[in-house]
Amino acid sequence: MTTSASLERLLGAGPYSLPQKEKRAILTERVRELSCRHYECCEPYRNIVNRIFGGPQTLDFERLEDAPFLPVSLFKTRELCSVERAKVVKKLTSSGTTGQAVSRIYLDAETAQLQTRTLVKIMQHFLGVERRPMIFLDHAAVVRDRYSFSARGAGILGMLPFGRQPFYALREDMSLDLEGLEAYVEQMKPGPPVLFGFTYIVWQYFVEALEQMCRRLSLPGAILLHSGGWKRLEALNVSMEEFRRRVEAVAGIETVINYYGMVEQVGSVYFENSLHCLQASIWSDVIVRAPETLEPLPHGRAGLIQVLSALPSSYPGHSLLTEDIGVVEGCDNPATGMYGKYFRVLGRLPKAELRGCSDTFQRTVATP
C-alpha cells in the first residue's frame, strides 16, 4: 500500500500542530481510505460492513462519526488481518490475566514503521530530542521474543529508542533491584532519567516496595511515563492525584505523565497534557458514543470511547469502539499549547453491557 496524500500531509506536520477542523478533514479522508482497503482485504471486516453498517456504499462517508467501527473485543475471538501472513513482521498480544482471551494484532513492515515514526514525534514533544538514561520498571524477560510478545513487551520495546543505556529495575520475580537501581542512577549523573512502566506495576513493585523498605530515591528532573492498569488502582481507592503524590514522595519525581493507548490500535497514543487530560495527536482522534444507542455525544457528555487512527493498514484497527467510558473535555485549548481534542477516561463499561454490545458483532462475523 503506497503512502496516500492524506497520510503524507499528516506525517509532515507536528503531532499537535493542526487545529481540530483542519485535522479532522484530513483524518476523515485517511480513515475512508483505510476502510476501503480493509473492506477489500479482510473478509470479517467486509462481513461486518455489509451486515451491520449497510454495505460498501457506507464507506463513502463525509463525517468521521459515520466511519464503520469494530469493538476491540472482536480481536480476542477473531483473527483480523489485511495482508498476507508472509508479510507479517510482528504479532502483538494484549495483556490479560490467566485464562482470559487476548487480542492478536498483526503488523507488516509499513504499519510497524509508521507506528515508530509517529511515536518518535510524540515522544520528542514531551521528552525533547536528546536521549536520556532510561529506567524500565519491569524485568527484561518481557521483551525476549521479538516476534510475539505482550502489551508490556511491546510498550518497553517501543520506548527503547528514546533512551540510552536502559536499566530494568525489577528482577524476574518482580522484586525491586534497589541496589542496582541506585548504582545506575549514580552512574548516569547528572543526566535525569526517564522511567517507564505500566501503572499497576509502578505502584505495586516500585512505589509500595520503596515505602515498605522505608527508602527514598532522589531523582530531580526525572520524568515518569506510565500507562494502563487503573482499574486495579481504583479497586484500592488510589486516585491519579494520590498516585502522583506518592511517586514524588518516594522518588522525588515531579513530572508524572499518564498516557492512554491499546495494543489493538497502533498509532493511537494519547499523552496527558498540562490539564491532566489525554490529548489526541494529529494521527488519531476520539469520539464518545452513547452506550445505549451508539450515537455520537457532544463534549462534556460521558459515553463509550471510540478511537480512530491514520496508521493501521495491515489489520482493520483504524476505527475501534473501546470498552472504556470517557468524556471529551475540550478542544484546541491554548492553555495546553496543543491543538486537538482532549478527554478523560472514567472507567470501564459493566461486563453485562459489554457482552450485549459485542455479541452482535461476533455473531455477524461467524455467519458464513
Tens digit of each residue's pLDDT (9 = 90 or more) over 30-69: 999 999 999 999 999 999 999 999 999 999 999 999 999 9
Q: Which three cell numbers stand for residue 49?
A: 460492513
| For residue 161, cis peptide bond before it (omega within 30 degrees of 0) | no
Is the confidence at residue 245, as pLDDT, over 70?
yes
Q: Count the domains in the chain.
A: 1
pLDDT value for 161 = 84
Can you tell me the distance from the alpha carbon of 258 to that of 256, in angstroms, rounded to the nearest whole number? 7
Nearest to 251 by CA among 203, 218, 202: 218
What letter represents residue 36's amino acid?
Answer: C
Can you tell me the distance from the alpha carbon of 318 to that of 299, in angstroms, rounded to the nearest whole number? 22
Task: Identify the domain containing residue 215 by its residue range.
Answer: 5-366
Strand stretches in the chain, DSSP E: 70-71, 88-93, 104-108, 132-136, 148-149, 163-168, 194-198, 223-227, 255-260, 270-272, 278-279, 284-289, 303-309, 319-331, 341-348
pLDDT value for 352 = 44
Can you tell me the distance from the alpha carbon of 154 to that of 146, in angstroms, rounded to the nearest whole number? 9
Q: Give this prediction's pTM.
A: 0.88
CATH of the domain at 150: 3.40.50.12780
Can you tell me the distance from the alpha carbon of 108 to that of 85, in angstroms, rounded to the nearest whole number? 9
Three-state SS at 182: helix
pLDDT value for 360 = 46
Is the confidence at residue 82, as pLDDT, over 50?
yes
